[in-house]
Amino acid sequence: MHRKLVVGNWKMNGNLHQLGEIAAIAKAARKAAGVDVALCPPFTLIAPAVARSNGLAIGAQDVHAAEEGAHTGSVSAAMLKEAHARLVIVGHSERRAENHETDADVRAKADTALRHGLQAIVCVGESETDRAARDHVAVVTGQLKGSLPEDAHEGELVVAYEPIWAIGTGNVATPDDVAEMHAAIRAALVERFGERGGRIRILYGGSVKADNAAAIFAVEDVDGALVGGASLTAAQFVPIIQAAAG
Ligand code: PEP
């Protein structure tokens, strides 16, 4: 049983007018004992969000693997640190699909993030086709093999299991589906990192909402959630934080 972590992913949503939502989420997060909360707005909102965060951890949704240089449109780990980001999501399925990111790319980003003292949330997840073919466990453990950083302390690394068919669709995975995959991920982490692998947090992501969060958090080896749509407003996100607090 680990202390749960609930992370909001705002994707390409959010502008300065929504900083009030971040302040409200931060206020609720402070009151919810026993749960860690973080929010990953777009790059442009990281610094202003930190200013309103009241201690809430603010992170990014991507980072470039290189230290600096000719990478138009990208943001480095040092830049994120300068903006006081504390964590970064790497390998989200939308980036794997839209930006053709491979497992090796994701691993390089995770290595860079950890080297700079950013907590890295490594995302994995199968497609609907993989699941229909009963290949889902093999696909996800294969992604983990390729995407996990070389080495990691349990506080620095988090894995997020996000079945692609559940993201933004309202089709949340069943507790049995989640239990099967989280057990497989736990076994892979222990095989890779030994005893430390037992302490790395595994989040579930995919249409988590206030009304299904408690059932998901009750599943063995679910150490929290990565939340997209329902993290955009305090009204929807705070009940999920409270469900994680128990
Ligand atoms: C996500 O994109 O990480 C996600 C889980 O989205 P949603 O909660 O909207 O399905």
Provide DSSP, 149-217. -SS--TTTEEEEE--GGGTTTS-PPPHHHHHHHHHHHHHHHHHHHGGGGGTSEEEEESS--TTTHHHHH
Q: Whose CA is nearest to atom 6 of ligand 1?
A: 228
- SS3 at position 236: helix
What number is the average pLDDT over the span 236-241?
Answer: 98
What number is the average pLDDT over the span 127-132?
Answer: 96
Task: Count how many residues are written for the chain.
Answer: 246
Sequence ranges of the domains in the chain:
6-68+81-245
Mutation pick for ligand 1 pocket among 226, 232, 240 (CB with most ligand atoms within 8 Å) = 226
117 C-alpha vs ligand 1 centroid, how far in Å? 25
| b (16+ CB within 10 A) / e for 131-162 | beeeebbebbbebbeebbbeebebebbbbbbb
Provide DSSP, 52-80. H-TT-EEEES---SSSSSS-TT---HHHH
What number is the average pLDDT over the span 27-42?
Answer: 95
Superfamily of domain 6-68+81-245: Aldolase class I (3.20.20.70)
Whether residue 61 has its Cβ less than 6 Å from ligand 1: no
217 C-alpha vs ligand 1 centroid, how far in Å? 16
- Give the model confidence (pLDDT) of 229-238 as tens digits: 999 999 999 9
Mutation pick for ligand 1 pocket among 9, 39, 169 (CB with most ligand atoms within 8 Å) = 9
Residue 220 confidence class, pLDDT cut points 50, 70, 90: very high
Active site residue 82: no
pLDDT at residue 233, as a whole number? 97
Residue 200 confidence class, pLDDT cut points 50, 70, 90: very high
pLDDT at residue 50, as a whole number? 97
Cα angle 198, 204, 207 (rounded to 5 degrees) comes to 175
- Give the model confidence (pLDDT) of 152-194 as tens digits: 877 799 999 999 999 999 999 999 999 999 999 999 999 999 9
- Give the model confidence (pLDDT) of 107-116 as tens digits: 999 999 999 9
pLDDT at residue 154, as a whole number? 73
pLDDT at residue 141, as a whole number? 98
What residues contact 38, with CB distance under 8 A and at least 6 apart?
Answer: 5, 6, 7, 8, 56, 57, 58, 59, 86, 87
In this predicted model, which residue has the larger pLDDT, 55 or 9? Answer: 9
Tell which atom from ligand 1 comes closest to the C-alpha of 167. 10
pLDDT at residue 152, as a whole number? 80
Mutation pick for ligand 1 pocket among 208, 216, 233, 240 (CB with most ligand atoms within 8 Å) = 208
What residues contact 9, with CB distance under 8 A and at least 6 apart?
Answer: 40, 61, 89, 92, 205, 226, 227, 228, 231
Residue 123 confidence class, pLDDT cut points 50, 70, 90: very high
Residue 2 confidence class, pLDDT cut points 50, 70, 90: confident
Whether residue 170 has its Cβ less than 6 Å from ligand 1: no
Whether residue 59 has its Cβ less than 6 Å from ligand 1: no
Residue 105 confidence class, pLDDT cut points 50, 70, 90: very high
Q: Is the pLDDT of residue 69 over 80?
A: yes
Q: What percent of the chain has pLDDT over 90?
A: 95
Q: Is the pLDDT of residue 136 over 90?
A: yes
Q: How far is CA 206 from CA 138, 147, 185, 230, in A?
A: 19, 20, 16, 10
- SS3 at position 90: strand
What number is the average pLDDT over the span 123-150?
Answer: 97
Element (H, E) at 224: strand 224-227
206 C-alpha vs ligand 1 centroid, how far in Å? 5
The mean pLDDT value of the chain amounts to 96
pLDDT at residue 185, as a whole number? 98
What residues contact 16, with CB distance under 8 A and at least 6 apart?
Answer: 45, 48
Token couple for 64: 């470039």
Active site residue 101: no
